[in-house]
Amino acid sequence: MPDPQLAHVLDFADHSAKATPDDIKKLCADVIKYGFHAAFVNPTYVTLAKETLAGKAPVGTVISFPLGGDTKALKMAAANNAVSQGADELDVVPNIGLYLAGNTNAFMTELQDIVESAHMTGAPVIVKFILDSGYFDKEADPKASLMRASEIVRAAGADFVKIGSGMGPRNPTLADLAAVKEAIGTSIKIKVAGGITDRKTAEAFFAAGANRIGTSHAIEIVSEKPATKKASKEE
């Protein structure tokens, strides 16, 4: 039997390029059926998901996903527009290149401005910034670098650090989660995404301190069924 307690901390996502309106309607129906926390869709489907869910679950979307290469102004506009269309949660990819180049002030400013823009409509919204831990692996001290980036996310006013996009250099590990947890404690929450396709793995991340998991395999996780093979790597 599906576990409703586990389901409620899973964000069921479909960020595939080939997602159709019918796919999104099915995603939303499954969110309601299984009691998942939220439906996460691409920005073009925020309105459809909002109408389909009809207040029965939050709608989340992604900003500058998965590379974070849009200009700050474009990210700010996209965040504001998504909230205006009804998005309850935003998973934003920051310009990690700024951080890796040592330009932490510009990195912080980008994050702060996006948070401010997301809240400009006055509607309640949860903002998460995605740190793909694989991008820190070539740093002199990868753990310390990931921790510092997490601290900046917290200081910028975000609600979550999200470890992994599901499309980065590698999937997040329990060691990555421990590093982020050490950096931010319980001051803000942690979401993990990428390669979490079964209940055992999901429970291990929750036991280690994750507050939320983003996945396209939510049904398999709660039903303990083998994960369906995907043509491309997703959350």
Instruction: Point out the residues that are catalytic.
Output: 91, 162, 191
* Strand boundaries in the chain, DSSP class E: 10-14, 38-41, 59-63, 89-92, 126-131, 160-163, 189-193, 212-215
Q: Are 119 and 149 in contact (CB under 8 A)?
A: no
Exposure of 192 by Cβ count < 10 A (0-12 exposed, 13-18 middle, 19+ buried)? buried
Sign of the dihedral through C-alpha 75, 77, 80, 85: negative
Nearest to 158 by CA among 117, 192, 194, 193: 117
Dist. CA 160–CA 198, nearest whole Å? 23
Q: What is the DSSP letter of 231?
A: S
Q: φ, ψ for residue 153 (rounded to 5)?
A: -60, -45
Dist. CA 31–CA 39, nearest whole Å? 6
* CB atoms closer than 10 angstroms to residue 209: 17
